Structure 1
Amino acid sequence: MQEKIVSPKESKKRKMLLMLPLITFPFLTFLFYTLGGGRIEAKTAESAEKKGFNFNLPLPKFKEDSALDKMSYYDQAAADSIKLRELIKKDPNYFDNKASEEKADSFSTGDFESRMLPKNRSAFNSQSFQDRNEQKVYEKLRALEKVISQPSVPTYGQDMREFENYGTSKGESEEIRKLEGLMSAMSAPQEADPELQQLGGMLENILDIQHPQRVQERLKQTSDSKKGKVYSVQKKAAENNISSLQRNADSQSLLKTNAFYSLDEAPPAEEMQNSIEAVVNQTQTIVNGSVVKLRLMNDIFLQGTIIPKNTFLYGMAALKGERLEVKITNIQYNNSIFPVDLAVYDMDGIDGIYIPGTISRDVAKSSAYRSIQTLGISGISDSWGAQAAGMGIEAAKSLMSKKVKLIKVVVKAGYRVLLYDEKQKNLKP
């Protein structure tokens, strides 16, 4: 027998036909399952086995508001009820039967007669359902208009006072008095409510917290209003340290005041000091406009701040006769500058430091200045050398005259002075 030779193309075709069922079988099975194959018999078997109540409840199917929960439904119901009440208030023809049945027992015959519809009014008119209090107010207003429209009654004497309210009922006159009192109370000016003021202060604080720029603007306004203000300086009072282990520093004052006084005598008044002790810190040669350095000998109070002793003060000097006047306009302490108005007094109580011999020194310097001015070069030719020499002499004259004219004084270190606050000049000590 001859063997049949198979071509490579045919062998590939056979292999593909052999593998085709293995590839298509899973797809056919999946397609059969998705189309519902084999499920009907399982459902009929389950229905045959389970009989009685169905314990599996179907889930609710929401259309648009599927994201709402239970509380959201409650909120929606409350909003719907609020809208319904607003519509009822706006409807003038709405009549609540339930409310009328609840209030029917509490109505008296007078109330029923007052609420009956007049003959000339329709049931669809909103004025027919007026409140009883509203009707009373309208009646009182009509009575008031009636009284106002009446002509003025002539005044009578005391014997005719009993006929003042003649022609008007007692109840009507009392109602008129009540209305007049109510109108006078409404027209009277009302006092400020403290609760409203407290609430206003709280609101201001809340606004300041929310907007800090308001506080900055307020501080700027206060600083502008206090611009140019000079602080007063006070001497710090000595502290009385009471202790059995420490010697009393005020023993001399105790000896003076510790005595018996009669009814006619009064204890000596405590001495008030309105000046501050200071000393010149170092020996200085001073001219007009120089800065004098002083040092405090006691603690002082300045705008609630304690300035300790040995603090340096600086003032501008000015020579006037035999007095060296020193004015202190600022005090610097702890990187703060306090504007003050202090004048330096000598121990004799006169403004300025006493400088003896200043007048004679001034006279000598003025005479030297005049003698220097008279110096000059005469009898010299008009050559260039002579002109240069003349210019040099003039420059030397101007320099020497300025030095001679400038008066200098020396203030020694440790010189005691008193600082006086110029703001307290008009105040009694």
Structure 2
Amino acid sequence: METKTLSIKEVKKRKMLLVLPLITLPFITLLFYVLGGGRMEAAISSSEHKKGFNFKLPMPKFKEDSALDKLSYYDQAATDSLKLLEQIKKDPNYSTSTISKGLDDEFTAEDFEKHLFSKGIKGFNSTPLEQGNEKKIYEKIKALQKIISQPVTADSYGQDMSEFESYGRSKESSQEIKNLERMMASMGAAEEPDPELQQLGGMLENILDIQHPQRVQEKLKQSAESKKGKVFTVDPKKEIDISTSLQNTTSLLDNSKSNSFYSADESAEFDSPPNAVQAVIHEMQIIVNGSIVKLRLSSDINLQGTVIPKNTFLYGMASLKGERLEVKVDNIQFRNSIFPVELTVYDLDGISGIYIPGAINRDVAKASADRSIQTLGLTGVSDSWGAQAAGMGVEAAKSLLSKKVKLIKVVLKSGYQVLLYDEKQKNLK
């Protein structure tokens, strides 16, 4: 093989290219550092550490007196205060009467040691400040303790009692006693009810009524029982018997001589007061359930001292039950007055209600007629508008006829005699 010979120029060029990186690398590294290269990760890591709480607390920086403890600081404070007093004493421009009295004598080293190492000093400014009122209070407390410690004698006890009695007879105490008696009298007197308390009580009652509905029913029952006492008792008016000397006394003598035993043919007649009132139907009336029946008294009655004459009109509410028409009279109107009563109409057979024969048969007939009306309808009619209107008319007529048919009508004849019985007398029995 042939070897290529290099010229001197090419050899120098190769040497320069070999050395050039070694020369340029330090400069490139320095330039990279100057421009901030390699610091981004440190900045990121430092920013990450700054987030959240700082768990590193700063260390305390003590001064030269870091070796002192709490007691040493108290002693140092006392020393500083004594030095301040000495400086004030030596200062000719500082004039204070209180300090000049206490510092007339020269402050020696013995005084300094006495104040510094005295047993009474336990802390900063621990000397008691007995000034003005505090000093007087302490003196009075000491005097009281001295008096209490002394033994009690009879003379001192009598003196104390005399002082107490004289104190009770003073004007101020008597005035206070009078005020106290006046307050007790006002407290003992009956006070008017507080409207706010009454309102609160009413609200609580309403809340209890809402929570317990049975309370309302009990109240209604009690009110109904209380109202029963306001209903007047109806009594037939008693006829006054007038006796004269012209009457025949033979019948009385015959009755007195008659046998005391009754035979089968004889009838014993007892005079017992009637407990019902006679009345009649005033006029012919057609009655249905809920109608008003007009009655007329056939005799006088007595309402708690008020005489209601006969031929007075009474009005009651009718209700049909089976073959009986029950009538209840709740009020009687006479001369612009309303008298609440509880009268029930009885027939002459002694059963409550007016006897209506055939009422059950009429009820059956009404029911069958109602069923026949309900079967009516339109058949074989087209679904036009006219047919629909006709059907609606038939339905309306059916409902009207059925309601009329269902009403059972009863005819009461004029002058029909009945009896009025007071239900309150039954309750009293």
Regarding TM over 0.5, the answer is no
Return the TM-score normalized by structure 2: 0.43
Of the two, which has the highest radius of gyration?
2
Return the TM-score normalized by structure 1: 0.43
